[in-house]
Structure 1
Amino acid sequence: MGLLLTKQQALDLLQQEPDIRVVEAYSACYQEEQRAEAEQGVNPFYSCINVDEIESGSLWNLPQPDQLRELFLRLGIPDNTTQQIVIFDTVKISCGENTSRSDVSARVWLALKMAGFGAVHLVVDANLNDSFKHTLRAVTSQKAAHGRGTSVECLLQPDSSLIVSHDELTRLIKGGAKGYRLLDCRSEAEFNGDVTGYSYVQHAGTIPTAESVVNGEFQVDSTGAVATALKRLEERFNLMEIDRSDRLIWFCGTGWRASRMCALSHALGFNSSCVYDGGWYEWQLKGSPAAMEAEQSRSALFEI
């Protein structure tokens, strides 16, 4: 199966394959009760990961790949296995006029891919709930009871190309580089500078050369048709004349929505897609004189 799975496809894969780890992603900021629940019981095929614990520093950026590997090892995910991973979350996040799903699990997906894990499947479905979670736990518990597992040791290949730093993005903008498209997946109001989107973000606006592709417009509806959301995104790319050879650099406020859109892009075959991890939060904090020189018409940026 592919990168993105519906709820039913995830259940089918679990039944078909003997060695799959399920990762339930959550955020204690949104689901404090999940913290205590995640600590209950030991299941070698089921892990709970608090996304807040894999982000670092005041900007909530992801650590370097080698640090992520060590972190995942402490969380019970070995760094030398071919085991497939299915990751999901049940968090709903307001995104302008829309509700975004799978942002939290997409963030952990990005971290796993950076660390070098190969077969990571992201469940993107509008119907993810506690019932689905309990079913996954029951199925993986049965696997554990029967000692099922066929993974073999392998050497992970970390992938640092999935992340773009503030310095690199500044150089791209200043140098007028070709072949990249900077995509702002925040709400239209955030992109237009009408709101910051966050209580702790002081300045509104967007980054020079950015184009708006709103994450909220590419959600999976109640029918669970992932293909429909992907088709809409591909049609948008066609209208924008975005080619698969382009390097797509996604950003949002702090990285969650951008991680989701990066995953959708990879599912469509845009394999050079990556994330400017600091997002608008970092950009407006640091400012960028180089970017201001490149696009004087933007008034959102500033120097401090």
Structure 2
Amino acid sequence: MSEEKSPFVVSASWLEDRLDDQNIRIVDAAWYLPAHNRNGRAEYEAGHIRGAVFFDQDEIADKTTGLPHSVPSPEAFAAAVGALGIAETDTIVVYDGPGLFSAPRVWWLFRIMGARKVFVLDGGLDGWKHEGRALVTVQTTPQPATFTPTYNGDAVTSFDAMRAIVDNGSVQIADARGPGRFLGTEAEPRPGMRSGHMPGALNLPAGSFASDGRLKTLAELKTLITEAGIDLDRPIVTSCGSGVTAATITLALHSLGHTDNTLYDGSWSEWGSRSDTPVTTEPTPKKDR
């Protein structure tokens, strides 16, 4: 296991060799926080992998929740990705800029909507460009497809379910935000939110799962997760700032064969903006979970 990689990532060379494969769909899922000073759509238009379509995480979302990029309805998701030329039976390769930031969220979305052959491009577009691989600026014009969703709602944790988990400690909580935000020493990037974390949560920063934009080996992932105090024999719910980088933990868990996990879609955008939710800035003793 020491050098074994996740079955859910593919290399740049693997993808480059298959750019003409009619059964592969390539998805640019780049999305950034304001602090990154990057624009996913602008970067897509400036240069993307041949055949890639742009997946706008702010648009392909449920906008009625008042929260950023909430999970869309299966029908809305199917219509949007069908217009992008993607069917649930396709082999789907998702990438972002850095390699492991926003792509896992779209990997997760496709999977909970019923697609099974979904992968993340190791190293992302930054790695692709660093290796001198070709980009195109011509926007891909896909042939519309039919995506038939099979929605797994059990993979998504609601606010009420999250509140119960915090109250009874029945499920481990893995928070993907950085330690500053987790401990409340760094302000949240969105206004009006308290700093800190849910009582009982353990910090597992999403940035620690990659090296040079590439997902770490299975052995490294297992060490990272267990040293954070997470028991891989127990259920886990992942969370982050707005439900995007939590999926990096989800990707790592599924890579290790852990399937008893869910993602809290509202994440800190919901929890931290409410006045009726418990928040702490004290580190959670690992033995408590």
Q: Calculate the TM-score normalised by the size of structure 1.
A: 0.73
Relative to 1, partners in 2 of residues 1:12 and 1:272: Cα closer, same or farther, differing over 3 Å?
farther
CA RMSD of aligned residues (A): 3.4
Q: State whether residues 65 and 114 of structure 1, in contact with CA within 8 Å, keep that contact through their aligned partners in structure 2.
A: no
Q: Match for residue 120 of structure 2?
A: 122
Q: Secondary structure at the match of 1:270?
A: coil
Residues 1:23 and 2:27 aligned together:
yes
Q: Match for residue 271 of structure 1?
A: 259
Q: Match for residue 108 of structure 1?
A: 106
The residue type equivalent to 1:233 in the other structure is L
The residue type equivalent to 2:195 in the other structure is A
**Larger Rg belongs to:** 1
Q: Give the Å deviation of 1:111.
A: 1.7
Q: Match for residue 200 of structure 1?
A: 191
Q: State whether residues 81 and 147 of structure 2, in contact with CA within 8 Å, keep that contact through their aligned partners in structure 1.
A: no
The answer to which of 268-277 and 6-15 deviates more is: 6-15
Q: Is the helix fraction higher in 1 or 2?
A: 1
Relative to 1, partners in 2 of residues 1:133 and 1:266: Cα closer, same or farther, differing over 3 Å?
farther
Q: State whether residues 253 and 279 of structure 1, in contact with CA within 8 Å, keep that contact through their aligned partners in structure 2.
A: yes
Relative to 1, partners in 2 of residues 1:261 and 1:12: Cα closer, same or farther, differing over 3 Å?
farther
Q: State whether residues 196 and 205 of structure 1, in contact with CA within 8 Å, keep that contact through their aligned partners in structure 2.
A: no
Residues of 2 paired with 1:136 and 1:6: CA distance?
16
Residues of 1 paired with 2:17 and 2:252: CA distance?
21
Relative to 1, partners in 2 of residues 1:210 and 1:74: Cα closer, same or farther, differing over 3 Å?
same
The residue type equivalent to 1:169 in the other structure is M
Q: State whether residues 169 and 200 of structure 2, in contact with CA within 8 Å, keep that contact through their aligned partners in structure 1.
A: no
**Which of the residues 168, 173, 176 maps onto 1:182?**
173
Q: Match for residue 286 of structure 2?
A: none
Percent identity for Structure 1 against Structure 2:
21
Residues of 1 paired with 2:281 and 2:232: CA distance?
31
The residue type equivalent to 2:262 in the other structure is C
Q: State whether residues 201 and 281 of structure 1, in contact with CA within 8 Å, keep that contact through their aligned partners in structure 2.
A: no
Q: Match for residue 295 of structure 1?
A: none
Residues 1:77 and 2:86 aligned together:
yes
Structure 1 unaligned runs (5+)? 93-100, 145-150, 293-297
The residue type equivalent to 2:112 in the other structure is M
**Which of the residues 9, 16, 24 maps onto 1:4?**
9
Q: Match for residue 220 of structure 2?
A: 232
Residues 1:53 and 2:59 aligned together:
yes
Q: How many residues align?
A: 263
Residues of 1 paired with 2:136 and 2:25: CA distance?
10
Q: Secondary structure at the match of 1:285?
A: coil
Q: Give the Å deviation of 1:261.
A: 1.9
Residues 1:159 and 2:163 aligned together:
no
- Within-5 A mapping of 1:85-96: 85-90=92-97, 92=98
The residue type equivalent to 1:218 in the other structure is F
Q: Secondary structure at the match of 1:189?
A: helix
Relative to 1, partners in 2 of residues 1:238 and 1:36: Cα closer, same or farther, differing over 3 Å?
closer
Residues of 2 paired with 1:36 and 1:241: CA distance?
42
Relative to 1, partners in 2 of residues 1:202 and 1:82: Cα closer, same or farther, differing over 3 Å?
closer
The answer to which of 202-211 and 56-65 deviates more is: 56-65
The residue type equivalent to 2:77 in the other structure is L
The residue type equivalent to 1:135 in the other structure is A
Q: Calculate the TM-score normalised by the size of structure 2.
A: 0.76
Residues of 2 paired with 1:254 and 1:154: CA distance?
26
Q: Deviations over 1:270-292 (max 9, x none)?
A: 11232111111210222445x57
Q: Secondary structure at the match of 1:23?
A: strand
The residue type equivalent to 2:101 in the other structure is D
